[in-house]
């Protein structure tokens, strides 16, 4: 007789709520669309958002019309435009027309823009680019983004697909523009349990050298979030380094993140979470703990690995499509499998497809356990709702990973000298509090 084996699971009681006013704790909703429409953004100090435009002559009129609709709104899904959803006026401050659509044309237009525009002239630059396969990196998308970024201008790319079918894109583009200009569209409606700071780590193994990928040189960066999941800042190491230096550089990044958090918040974080897509090595954990001790900190630290790259699947044969419902999770030995994109009664109207890929979340805590598996499941689910580049509610990965992945992609085309420029001097001061890479 074979003994019956089973796993234990649980469900997150309530969908995390989002806050849409930093001065009014009742301005909450579970969905960005309805929250922004009813209450406006979390940060209501924006006033006027100055937008630059780079576009080929041939599409200039369409791009300007798109930006105008962002300002005045679209009757179907974005009624009232930026004024209603973000309490902000959009003003076009500068337009540069590229003479054609080749990479050179775009590079020339980008150079012309940064030569003429001072950093106060545009909060963000809207660029119309041809759609290219993401297999290639030497394209207008990447190169223009790199050129503008290293001169302190966040950018938002548009393609013909967006212009041809803009209805559901207006709000997403508007949200991205608002966030990239350094303002907060929304945050969590309540603190995440046992969390002061979350540090999303990424070590990218690709950095560009004269537009060719250079291997065996690494760059590291972190995105830092507070207890409300609010993105605070981005911090990177300016110089590329060798593989054997990864552990040391990772500790340096965590140290800088903790110190900057202390400066910004005025307190030392006591409950530190470090999110990474891979498992932490023993030496990485030991060095972080030692670094915190050297800072005379009594902080507790959770090393959390989050991975969606595995074959494990669970199903719920009682749900509409058989998918394992959003917010359900499975306890494994020392980890959980969490569904973030399964069907849910909460968002019945939301279109979903495929079988949810569960997140495998594993944590190790020092000096003792301070966050339970249930709290960790909630933290991870809540962090999926804070990607300001989209107002969709069914996002698989938490932003701690999403933002790192976005940046890792971009660094494959940013040259070492451009990267260094981004991490130092005036560009860094202008860009470090803006999620320019989302």
Number of residues that bind another protein (CB under 8 A): 49
Indicate whether 166 belongs to the interface with another protein (CB under 8 A).
no
Indicate whether 138 belongs to the interface with another protein (CB under 8 A).
yes
Contact 205, 215 (CB under 8 A): yes
Stretch in the footprint of another protein (CB under 8 A) among 158-166, 220-228, 273-281, 295-303 = 273-281
Indicate whether 38 belongs to the interface with another protein (CB under 8 A).
no
Per CB under 8 A, which of residues 216..235 are in contact with another protein? 216
Stretch in the footprint of another protein (CB under 8 A) among 77-85, 151-159, 276-284, 394-402 = 276-284
Residue 68 CB neighbour total at 10 angstroms: 12
Q: How far is the CB of 349 from another protein (least distance, A)?
A: 15
Indicate whether 120 belongs to the interface with another protein (CB under 8 A).
no
Contact 96, 113 (CB under 8 A): yes
Stretch in the footprint of another protein (CB under 8 A) among 5-13, 64-72, 195-203, 392-400 = 5-13
The single residue among 58, 111, 315, 425 that binds another protein, judged by CB under 8 A, is 315
Stretch in the footprint of another protein (CB under 8 A) among 8-16, 156-164, 190-198, 246-254 = 8-16
Indicate whether 130 belongs to the interface with another protein (CB under 8 A).
no
* Separation between Cα atoms, residue 139 and residue 372, nearest integer Å: 45
Indicate whether 145 belongs to the interface with another protein (CB under 8 A).
no
Strand order in the sheet with 18-19: 28-29, 18-19, 187-188
Indicate whether 312 belongs to the interface with another protein (CB under 8 A).
yes
Q: How far is the CB of 414 from another protein (least distance, A)?
A: 15
CA dihedral of residues 291, 297, 299, 305 (deg, nearest 10): -10
**CA torsion sign, 303 to 307 to 310 to 312?**
positive
Between helix 399-411 and helix 140-150 the angle, nearest 10°, is 100
The single residue among 38, 99, 320, 425 that binds another protein, judged by CB under 8 A, is 320
Nearer to another protein, 333 or 368 (CB): 333
- The encoded tokens of residue 158 equal 């548009």
Nearer to another protein, 207 or 299 (CB): 207
Phi and psi torsions of 78, nearest 5°: -135, 45
The single residue among 55, 59, 88, 137 that binds another protein, judged by CB under 8 A, is 137
Q: Is the peptide bond before 367 cis (omega within 30 degrees of 0)?
A: yes
- The encoded tokens of residue 3 equal 């003994």
The single residue among 162, 175, 304, 323 that binds another protein, judged by CB under 8 A, is 323
Nearer to another protein, 130 or 190 (CB): 130
Burial class (CB in 10 A: 0-12, 13-18, 19+), 9: middle
Indicate whether 277 belongs to the interface with another protein (CB under 8 A).
yes
Q: Which helix (H) or strand (E) holds 256?
A: helix 246-265
* Separation between Cα atoms, residue 425 and residue 276, nearest integer Å: 28
Per CB under 8 A, which of residues 330..359 are in contact with another protein? 330, 332-333, 342, 353-356
Q: Which helix (H) or strand (E) holds 278?
A: none
What 8-state DSSP symbol labels residue 75?
A: T
The single residue among 75, 263, 267, 317 that binds another protein, judged by CB under 8 A, is 317
3-state secondary structure of 274: strand
* Separation between Cα atoms, residue 199 and residue 197, nearest integer Å: 7
Indicate whether 378 belongs to the interface with another protein (CB under 8 A).
no
Contact 275, 401 (CB under 8 A): yes
Residue 133 CB neighbour total at 10 angstroms: 6
The single residue among 45, 111, 160, 215 that binds another protein, judged by CB under 8 A, is 215
Q: How many residues does the chain have?
A: 438
Contact 156, 173 (CB under 8 A): yes
Indicate whether 210 belongs to the interface with another protein (CB under 8 A).
no
Indicate whether 134 belongs to the interface with another protein (CB under 8 A).
yes
3-state secondary structure of 162: helix
Indicate whether 411 belongs to the interface with another protein (CB under 8 A).
no
Stretch in the footprint of another protein (CB under 8 A) among 24-32, 91-99, 154-162, 318-326 = 318-326
Q: How far is the CB of 343 from another protein (least distance, A)?
A: 8
Residues that bind another protein (CB under 8 A): 2, 4-11, 133-138, 212-213, 215-216, 277-279, 307, 309-324, 328, 330, 332-333, 342, 353-356, 360
């Amino acid at each position: 007789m074979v003994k019956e084996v089973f796993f234990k699971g649980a469900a997150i009681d309530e969908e995390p709520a989002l806050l849409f006013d930093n001065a009014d704790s009742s301005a909450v909703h579970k969905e960005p669309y309805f929250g922004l429409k009813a209450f406006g953004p979390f940060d209501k100090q924006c006033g006027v958002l100055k937008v630059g435009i780079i576009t080929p002559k041939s599409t200039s009129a369409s791009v300007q019309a798109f930006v105008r609709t962002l300002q005045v709104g679209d009757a179907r899904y974005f009624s009232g435009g930026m004024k209603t959803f973000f309490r902000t006026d959009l003003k076009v401050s500068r337009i540069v027309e590229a003479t054609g659509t080749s990479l050179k044309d775009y590079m020339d237009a980008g150079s012309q823009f940064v030569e003429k525009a001072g950093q106060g002239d545009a909060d963000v630059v809207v660029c119309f680019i041809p759609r290219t396969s993401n297999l290639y990196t030497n394209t207008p998308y990447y190169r223009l983004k790199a050129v503008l970024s290293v001169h302190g201008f966040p950018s938002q790319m548009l393609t013909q697909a967006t212009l041809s079918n803009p209805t559901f894109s207006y709000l997403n583009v508007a949200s991205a523009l608002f966030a990239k200009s350094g303002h907060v569209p929304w945050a969590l409606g309540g603190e995440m349990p046992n969390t002061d700071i979350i540090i999303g780590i990424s070590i990218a193994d690709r950095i560009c050298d004269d537009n060719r990928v250079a291997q065996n040189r690494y760059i590291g960066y972190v995105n830092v979030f507070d207890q409300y999941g609010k993105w605070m800042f981005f911090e990177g190491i300016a110089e590329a380094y060798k593989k054997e230096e990864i552990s040391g550089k990772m500790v340096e990044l965590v140290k800088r993140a903790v110190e900057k958090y202390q400066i910004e918040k005025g307190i030392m974080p006591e409950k530190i979470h470090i999110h990474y897509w891979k498992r932490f090595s023993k030496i990485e954990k030991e060095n972080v703990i030692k670094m915190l001790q050297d800072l005379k900190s009594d902080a507790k630290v959770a090393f959390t690995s989050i991975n969606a790259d595995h074959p494990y699947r669970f199903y719920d044969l009682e749900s509409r499509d058989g998918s394992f419902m959003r917010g359900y999770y499975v306890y494994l030995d020392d980890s959980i499998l969490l569904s973030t994109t399964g069907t849910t009664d909460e968002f019945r109207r939301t279109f979903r497809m495929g079988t949810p890929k569960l997140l495998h979340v594993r944590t190790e805590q020092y000096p003792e356990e301070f966050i339970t598996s249930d709290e960790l499941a909630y933290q991870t689910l809540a962090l999926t709702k804070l990607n300001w580049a989209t107002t969709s509610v069914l996002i698989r990965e938490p932003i701690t990973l999403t933002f790192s992945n976005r940046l890792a992609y971009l660094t494959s085309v940013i040259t070492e000298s451009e990267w260094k420029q981004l991490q130092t001097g005036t560009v860094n001061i202008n860009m470090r509090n803006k999620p320019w890479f989302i």
